[in-house]
Amino acid sequence: MAQSKEPQGIVALLLQPQVLPFFLIALVYTAIKLLDRTDIPKIKNLPEIPGLPILGSLRELGDNHAANATRLAKKYGPVFQLRLGNKRIVFANTFDSVRELWIGQQSALISRPTLHTFHSVVSSSEGFTIGTSPWDESCKARRKAAATALNRPAVQSYMPIVDYECTKSLKEMLVDSKDGTVDVDPTLYFARFALSTSLTLNYGIKIEGNVDDGLLKEITLVERQIGNFRSTASNWADYVPLLRLMPGGNNKALEYKARRAKYMYKLLDMLKEKMKEGSDAPCIVGNVLKDPEAKLSDAEVMSISLSMVSAGLDTVPGNLIMCIAYLASERGQDMQARALDEINKVYPNNDAWERCLTEEKVPYITAMVKETLRFWSVIPVCLPRKNIKDIRYGNAIIPAGTSFYMNAYGAHYDETHFKSPHDFNPDRYIADDSVDDASATRGTPHYGYGAGSRMCIGVHLANRELYTAFLRMIVAFEILPARDPKQRPILDAFGCNKMPNGLTSDPKPFAIGLKVRNQAMVDKWIADSEERTKDL
């Protein structure tokens, strides 16, 4: 007997003309309700930014989360909650609120949330960097190993590498400027400085070529792109799961993941080859591979390497070149004169170039490093955090598992903490007892390196790199505005950035002029550095 094709039972009931419209409305309502759910329910007693269904405040925060959150904080207060797609975020926007949460609650605020594009697509085979790892025993072990390799005494032992790399970059910049007759863009010289230093520490391998070196260009480009997949602002698919279904949505992420894997394994193989030949230099990965007691797996060594290659690559040069951009400006001319004067007072015998490797005795240069980290805020929204325990903030209880975003830019431009925050003024970091309002000199100077339990572990290395490069640039050159006004930099933390939704600021290209202060001295300093580091 032929089977009936008529719908039966509940299906037949739902398709009846009197029932169907109600059924469809209920279906759409349930779908919206499901898509509109957040990982953490609304937190009581914490201001909330109103948002759209499903998208939440994605449109409101736009391309520039730091700028828009700073604007919203004026209306909603220093700490507010909002929804980005299906994630609830607590945003802290002022200096004191960041201190209260990131430092005051550091044992609870120790984990990192995962984001779809970076964690599930880009990192699916090589694993996470330390800075993107949720807190667990493995993260603790990797962080500890890397932090030990980057602690203050360890960094002091790496200063010959900084000497070598800094000299190489300044010398090449001078040659390319044809002894000051042509303006130069400092970006790639300092990218090589930062990358080659990190590669030498991690693998004992340098970037041997000049600033056109293929490996330098590939790593710089790929890491920048991958950094953008980590940004809180560039991928709506991180927040709205429906968008992950779009065909081809992951193609770019997959392309850069493959390109990164290629150089990461190439560097590791180069080191292993050198170890076989016995020609390897002491380095972090070599030490782990040779240590039979080492408790780190291959995957954990890869995670440390990914962190070492990427962490200083955009951040160190971003700070360096923007301070140099400022020094090249009209106002920067007085600042250079002041800095040179302060250097000469401490080093009347022209030996600052070498002595800066072992000591940090010019407070004005130290202050310039801090002010650069504050003013340019190269990671405007710090790497996100997640709390592993409930946190009380005012009358609100923020449940474990909530994502926290630190608006470092907002905190750095907080007028209740920094006087005239829009002025680039290293003096704010020089303690002066006669000034009442010296809040910048008390406690944490800035959040350029984040704060609390997951603060940057490259801080000592980065500070030494910045101090050495600033001091050497100033003693060697008069840094001048580019001859062509169109090539002069934009001197504003947001205006200078060509990628406002990236993780780190990506300065627009610009040029500076260089005039050697004393050719004979510069030649001598370079020759002495080359002699000191010839066996590296």
Annotated binding site for heme: 456
Least distance to ligand HEM, CB of residue 304, Å: 8
Name the segment binding ligand HEM (CB under 6 A); options: 271-279, 280-288, 376-384, 432-440: 376-384
The answer to whether the beta carbons of residues 456 and 444 sit under 8 Å apart is: no
Closer to ligand HEM by Cβ: residue 286 or 448: 448
- How far apart CA 285 and CA 270 sit, in angstroms, is 12
Nearer to ligand HEM, 174 or 226 (CB): 226
Interface segment toward ligand HEM; rule CB under 6 A; list 17-25, 183-191, 293-301, 312-320: 312-320
Residue length of the chain: 536
- The enclosing H or E element of 92 equals strand 87-92
Q: Is 109 in the site for ligand HEM (CB under 6 A)?
A: no
Measured in degrees and rounded to the nearest 5, phi and psi for residue 282 equal -55, 135
Q: Does 379 bind ligand HEM (CB under 6 A)?
A: yes
Distances (CA, A) of 119 to 220, 268, 453, 470, 532: 20, 22, 21, 36, 43
Q: Output 146 or 302, the one with its CB closest to ligand HEM.
A: 146
- Of 66, 308, 343, 522, the residue at the interface with ligand HEM (CB under 6 A) is 308
Rule CB under 6 A: is residue 84 a binding residue for ligand HEM?
no
Position 103 contacts ligand HEM (CB under 6 A): no
Shortest Cβ 474–ligand HEM spacing (Å): 18
Nearer to ligand HEM, 159 or 243 (CB): 159
Per-residue interface string for the shown chain with ligand HEM, residues 515-534, x marking contact by CB under 6 A? --------------------
Cβ nearer to ligand HEM, comparing 203 with 449: 449
Smallest gap from Cβ 461 to ligand HEM, in A, equals 5
Nearest-Å Rg of the Cα atoms of the chain is 26
Burial class of residue 332, CB neighbours in 10 A (0-12, 13-18, 19+): buried
Span from 36-44, 205-213, 304-312, 327-335 in contact with ligand HEM (CB under 6 A): 304-312
Nearest-approach distance from CB 444 to ligand HEM, in angstroms: 11
Q: Quick check: 311 binds ligand HEM (CB under 6 A)?
A: yes
Q: How many CB atoms lie within 10 A of CB 164?
A: 21
Q: If binding means CB under 6 A, how many residues of this protein chain bind ligand HEM?
A: 29
* 3-class secondary-structure state, position 188: helix
Instruction: Tell me whether residue 215 or residue 455 sits nearer to ligand HEM (CB atom).
Output: 455
CB of 448 vs ligand HEM, minimal distance in Å: 5
**3-class SS at 251?**
helix
Using CB under 6 A, which of the segments 15-23, 326-334, 357-365, 378-386 binds ligand HEM? 378-386
Which residues partner with 314 through β-bridges? none
Q: What would the x/- binding string for ligand HEM be over residues 126 to 145, using CB under 6 A?
A: ----xx-----------x--
CA separation for the pair 465, 312 (Å, rounded): 10
Q: What is the number of other CB atoms lying within 10 angstroms of the CB of residue 225? A: 18
Q: What is the DSSP string of 357-387?
A: TT----HHHHHHHHHHHHHH-SSSBPPPEE-
User: In the complex, what is the shortest distance from the CB of residue 466 to ligand HEM, in angstroms, rounded to a whole number?
Assistant: 6
Token pair 């598992």 in the structure block, residue: 401
Nearest to 172 by CA among 193, 194, 141, 203: 193
Contact between 428 and ligand HEM (CB under 6 A)? no
Question: Any alpha helices (H) in 82-127, and if so which ranges?
Answer: 95-98
Site string for ligand HEM, 429-468 (x = CB under 6 A): -------------------xxxxx-xxxxx--xx------
One of 85, 127, 204, 312 touching ligand HEM (CB under 6 A):
312
DSSP state, residue 122 = I
CB 231 → ligand HEM: shortest distance, Å?
13
Between 159-176 and 187-203, two packed helices, what is the crossing angle to 10 degrees? 150
Residue closer to ligand HEM by CB (options 288, 522) is 288
H runs (alpha helix) in 83-134 = 95-98
Q: Which of 315, 387, 425, 505 binds ligand HEM (CB under 6 A)?
A: 315
| Segment contacting ligand HEM by CB under 6 A, of 47-55, 314-322, 328-336, 494-502 | 314-322
SS3 assignment, position 96: helix
Residue 57 within binding range of ligand HEM, rule CB under 6 A: no
User: How far is residue 460's CA from residue 156's CA, in Å, rounded to a whole number?
Assistant: 9
Binding site listing: 456
| Cβ contacts of 533 within 8 Å, gap of 6 or more | 160, 161, 163, 164, 167
The residues, ordered by sequence, that sit 6+ positions from 110 with a Cβ below 8 Å of its Cβ are 135, 385, 387, 388, 452, 453, 454
* Cβ contact 493:375 at 8 Å: yes
DSSP annotation of 448? T
Q: Is residue 365 involved in binding ligand HEM (CB under 6 A)?
A: no
Question: Are 163 and 536 within 8 A, CB to CB?
Answer: no
Q: Which of 49, 271, 378, 482 binds ligand HEM (CB under 6 A)?
A: 378
Positions that interact with ligand HEM (CB under 6 A): 130-131, 143, 146, 150, 198, 307-308, 311-312, 315-316, 319, 378-379, 382-383, 448-452, 454-458, 461-462
